A and B are shown apart, each in its own frame.
Chain A
Amino acid sequence: MKYNHILIRYSELALKGKNRTDFEKKLTENIRRSLVQFPQVKVIRSFGRMFVELNGADEKAVSDRLQDVFGIHSFSPALKIELDQEKIDDGALWAMKDALPDQEGTFKVTVKRPNKSYPRRSQELNYHIGSHILRNTDRLTVDVHQPDVEVKVEIREEAAYIMCKTLLGAGGLPVRTAGKVLLMLSGGIDSPVAGYLALKRGVELEAVHFHSPPFTNERAKQKVVDLTKVLTRYGGTIRLHIVPFTEAQKEIHQKVPDKYEMTVMRRFMLRIAEGVAFNNNALAIVNGESLGQVASQTLDSMHTINEVTNMPVLRPLVTMDKLEVIEVARKIGTYDLSILPFEDCCTIFLPPQTKTKPNKEKANHYEKELAINRLVQAAVEQVETLTIRAGTNVDKEIADLL
């Protein structure tokens, strides 16, 4: 015997009134997409419930993927069993053993019987199924208040469903229900986490990366592609815009005093990101800034840098500690990539001293020396856009070899 269904419960969707159908459709689509590697699996939506029909796929492997889909509050593997009392008893016993492999602990049985034509009543079934489990195991006892396992049995029209465990989903809202944002992706620990948290609120994500060859190398760029790949696990296909930043960065380095160099560089990045966002119909920029971590992230700095754009800049990490960010990075699988030691464009030109309390007037003053519009436009126009798809991480050429 093995689980043949997974019942999915939505998170905040229930609150969404008229939009609910759209949200459900999007969620169904996202679940299907995350399960493409299991061609036999079917996702079914009916009467306000969602089911994954496993058709032989491994329940644990499918659960593993479902745990990454935003919009799912929780889910339970379920046994669908024909309406035959003996089969229901055996199914409940199997599910119980599956949930507690050591067969030691407490349980209770909860039967619901929407199908009133089924001959036995819920109370009677509770007792009957519970007894069957007790008779066939040695070290299980009943605890109706705080059981280790609750064996849920639902007697419906078409079949009975048995569930023993509930796994927490990722929560949040289904991606692509909230509009598009552009993530500033550096390759460090923070920005991928910011992208992940933005996805959690249902956005559609595109990413922008600043590349300054030969000061930053191909490995650094590859690292960003790989990080984007990890994010596709949660957000589906992501377009990654690579901005050629060498020209602007060289000019800033030439003309701006050391202690304002980074502030001005950040302002340029934000201007370019705004241009890329505009061209791609993104409604906001997302970055990995947290308050007061390093020079560019003091409140003064944020204030001075943010001056150059009217577009909303979302900072999902703004209140998080570094350790909290690292914890999420580990959980979502970006940490090991992020700590690979390649130069990114923030560190390469980093001057010996940086102003931690820059002000707008001075930043504007120094920028007078620079052809802002020309540099920004040139960068925006020469963007190289890669489409990063979910699924295998193996290059075509290499896949043929392997």
Chain B
Amino acid sequence: MIYFDNSATTRPYKEVIDTYTKVSLEFFGNPSSLHPLGKAAERLLQQAREVAASLLGVKTKEVVFTSGGTEGNNLAIKGTAMQHRGRGKHIITTNVEHASTKETFRQLEGEGFEVTYLEVDSDGVVSVDQVKAALTKETILVSVIHVNNETGSIQPVTEIGGLLRQYPKIVFHVDHVQGIGKVPLHFAASNIDLCSISGHKFHGLKGNGILYVRDGIRLYPLLTGGSQERGSRAGTENVAGVAAMVKALRMSKERSAQAIKKMAEINSWLERKCLEIPGVVVNSPNPRAPHILNLSVPGIKPEVIVQALAEHEIYISTKSACASKHAEPSHVLLSMGFSSDRASSAIRLSFTYDNTMEEAEAFVEAFASVVASLKKVVNKQ
């Protein structure tokens, strides 16, 4: 099996599952219970928080455990919008956001917020000057995806953060779900106030994520109830999932420096080789994140390629998993100026630390033959 769909999700590490089962059985107490079982679970949760904080280079109290990237983005954006709606109702973002951000903004527009969608250039990125030009006295939030999930484009997050340093009242949120472990990002140096990540993108389990909430930032909670997560997210904590995610984060961080180089090598090798296949074009820009490569074979439906490769036990995606069931062209590729034909025929390869050059070679071979045979069918040869 060759699994090149790691931006959709990753396979959990064995050690992560071990932690999950062990914690589920042995630390099953409710962290809010007063007895020793509760205390043990609370202690585990607290220490998991400390380890997560030190791995992310932030303060312990800045770590809020969530159910994943979608919740993190929702909490960051709606939580800020609701908290500061008295001060202003203008929000700035880009036109290449993930669905969990984009749809949240649509919802807020229905509530009377005004959202500016900055248009990306042909590399899929916005500039600091665009952000600056869009700022108004009413602006309360700037929200930007760090690494685009379809193309691997990297937004100039650190530079935007630098600009926003002069506007201390504007909250800066970064969707770091695709970036974590793949494209290093220093939260404090980038002046980030809110940053979402998701456990299952780095070999943790689905249903766990972290929202970094900079010390001093207040959010209007989406889930109300008990005082868990310092009141910003009520609900009994998913202790086993949290521990498993922190384990995955630690394992990823230990390997990331080397693995990033390796993924980048595989990525650029694949780009070169795929371009040699007649009819294949590359949509991802250069430079890009090391783990994503977006290609198109104009004229052939991407679903068909995905199915054909699956017969070779090779697994890839058409655009992003969260949007791939809609047969529309990719809004990200359209925004970058690609034709509708090309934007409707995109496939995405996405890697992780354990992918190898041998897998890449096997992929190219299978891909070339799949493309050749499909072309024959389409062209009635």
Taking Cβ atoms with an 8 Å cutoff, the residues of A that contact B are 217-219, 222, 336, 393-395, 398-399, 401-402
Is B39's CB under 8 angstroms from A222's CB?
yes
Which residues 236-260 in B have Cβ within 8 Å of A in the complex? 243, 246-247, 250
Stretch from B46-54, B130-138, B294-302, B307-315 forming part of the interface with A: B46-54
B43 within 8 A of A: yes
Chain B 33-71 near chain A by CB (<8 Å), digits 1 or 0: 010100100111001101100000000010000000000
Alpha-carbon gap, A394 to B246, bound state (A): 13
Is A218's CB under 8 angstroms from B243's CB?
no
Alpha-carbon gap, A393 to B53, bound state (A): 12
Among A219, A336, A402, point to the contact of B47 (Cβ < 8 A): A402
Is B243's CB under 8 angstroms from A401's CB?
yes
Set of chain B residues within 8 Å of A222, measured between Cβ atoms: 39, 43
B195 within 8 A of A: no
Alpha-carbon gap, A394 to B50, bound state (A): 8
Alpha-carbon gap, A223 to B130, bound state (A): 49
Among A394, A395, A402, point to the contact of B19 (Cβ < 8 A): A402
Is A401's CB under 8 angstroms from B43's CB?
no
Interface size class of B (residues with CB under 8 A): 10 to 19
A218 to B: closest C-beta gap in Å: 6
Which 9 interchain pairs have the tightest Cβ spacing?
A394-B47, A398-B47, A401-B19, A402-B51, A402-B246, A398-B44, A402-B247, A401-B243, A218-B39
Set of chain A residues within 8 Å of B50, measured between Cβ atoms: 393-394
B253 to A: closest C-beta gap in Å: 12
Alpha-carbon gap, A399 to B51, bound state (A): 9
A392 to B: closest C-beta gap in Å: 8
Q: Would you list 7 pairs from A and B whose C-beta atoms are within 8 A, ordered by A residue?
A: A219-B34, A222-B39, A393-B47, A395-B43, A398-B44, A401-B22, A402-B19
Residue of B nearest to A226 (CB): B46
Alpha-carbon gap, A110 to B36, bound state (A): 62
Known: A394-B47, A401-B19, A402-B250. 14 other contacts (CB 8 A): A217-B34, A218-B39, A219-B34, A393-B47, A393-B50, A394-B50, A394-B51, A398-B47, A398-B48, A401-B243, A401-B247, A402-B19, A402-B51, A402-B246
Alpha-carbon gap, A218 to B33, bound state (A): 12
Residue of A nearest to B38 (CB): A219
Residue of A nearest to B15 (CB): A401
B23 within 8 A of A: yes
Set of chain B residues within 8 Å of A395, measured between Cβ atoms: 43, 47
Among A219, A336, A393, A402, point to the contact of B243 (Cβ < 8 A): A402
* Total of A-B residue pairs, C-beta within 8 Å: 35
Set of chain B residues within 8 Å of A217, measured between Cβ atoms: 34
Residue of A nearest to B36 (CB): A218
Set of chain B residues within 8 Å of A336, measured between Cβ atoms: 61
Alpha-carbon gap, A107 to B34, bound state (A): 59
Residue of B nearest to A218 (CB): B39
Alpha-carbon gap, A401 to B246, bound state (A): 9
Alpha-carbon gap, A217 to B38, bound state (A): 12
Is B23's CB under 8 angstroms from A401's CB?
yes
Residue of A nearest to B54 (CB): A392
Is A219's CB under 8 angstroms from B44's CB?
no
Is A398's CB under 8 angstroms from B34's CB?
no
Residue of B nearest to A217 (CB): B34
Alpha-carbon gap, A217 to B61, bound state (A): 24
Residue of B nearest to A61 (CB): B57
Chain B 11-40 near chain A by CB (<8 Å), digits 1 or 0: 000000001001100000000001010010
Set of chain A residues within 8 Å of B44, measured between Cβ atoms: 398, 401
Alpha-carbon gap, A394 to B53, bound state (A): 13
Alpha-carbon gap, A218 to B247, bound state (A): 27
Alpha-carbon gap, A336 to B61, bound state (A): 9
Alpha-carbon gap, A401 to B39, bound state (A): 17
Set of chain A residues within 8 Å of B246, measured between Cβ atoms: 402
A244 to B: closest C-beta gap in Å: 18
A228 to B: closest C-beta gap in Å: 16
Set of chain A residues within 8 Å of B243, measured between Cβ atoms: 401-402
Alpha-carbon gap, A401 to B21, bound state (A): 10
Set of chain B residues within 8 Å of A399, measured between Cβ atoms: 47
Counting chain B CB atoms within 10 Å of each CB, the highest count among A218, A393, A394, A402 belongs to A402
Alpha-carbon gap, A218 to B36, bound state (A): 8
Alpha-carbon gap, A217 to B35, bound state (A): 9
B208 to A: closest C-beta gap in Å: 13
B171 to A: closest C-beta gap in Å: 23
Instruction: Knowing A222-B43, A336-B61, A395-B43 are in contact, say whether A402-B36 is a contact too (CB < 8 A).
Output: no
Set of chain A residues within 8 Å of B247, measured between Cβ atoms: 401-402
Alpha-carbon gap, A25 to B44, bound state (A): 39
Alpha-carbon gap, A401 to B17, bound state (A): 10
Set of chain B residues within 8 Å of A393, measured between Cβ atoms: 47, 50
B227 to A: closest C-beta gap in Å: 11
B361 to A: closest C-beta gap in Å: 36
B279 to A: closest C-beta gap in Å: 48
A360 to B: closest C-beta gap in Å: 40
Alpha-carbon gap, A401 to B47, bound state (A): 11
B293 to A: closest C-beta gap in Å: 33
Alpha-carbon gap, A399 to B43, bound state (A): 12
Instruction: Knowing A217-B34, A336-B61 are in contact, say whether A402-B39 is a contact too (CB < 8 A).
Output: no
Is B43's CB under 8 angstroms from A398's CB?
yes
Counting chain B CB atoms within 10 Å of each CB, the highest count among A218, A393, A394, A398 belongs to A398
Among B42, B48, B61, point to the contact of A402 (Cβ < 8 A): B48
Which residues 275-318 in B have Cβ within 8 Å of A in the complex? none
Residue of A nearest to B61 (CB): A336
Is B51's CB under 8 angstroms from A219's CB?
no
Alpha-carbon gap, A399 to B19, bound state (A): 11
Residue of A nearest to B27 (CB): A401
Among B22, B23, B39, B48, point to the contact of A219 (Cβ < 8 A): B39
A277 to B: closest C-beta gap in Å: 30
Set of chain B residues within 8 Å of A402, measured between Cβ atoms: 19, 47-48, 51, 243, 246-247, 250
B239 to A: closest C-beta gap in Å: 10
Set of chain A residues within 8 Å of B250, measured between Cβ atoms: 402
A272 to B: closest C-beta gap in Å: 26
Alpha-carbon gap, A394 to B43, bound state (A): 9
Alpha-carbon gap, A395 to B250, bound state (A): 16
Counting chain A CB atoms within 10 Å of each CB, the highest count among B23, B47, B243, B247 belongs to B47
Alpha-carbon gap, A63 to B129, bound state (A): 34
Alpha-carbon gap, A336 to B23, bound state (A): 27
Counting chain A CB atoms within 10 Å of each CB, the highest count among B22, B42, B51 belongs to B51
Residue of A nearest to B22 (CB): A401
Set of chain A residues within 8 Å of B22, measured between Cβ atoms: 401
B166 to A: closest C-beta gap in Å: 10
Which residues 260-286 in B have Cβ within 8 Å of A in the complex? none
A393 to B: closest C-beta gap in Å: 6
A148 to B: closest C-beta gap in Å: 18
Residue of B nearest to A401 (CB): B19
Alpha-carbon gap, A217 to B243, bound state (A): 25
Set of chain B residues within 8 Å of A394, measured between Cβ atoms: 47, 50-51
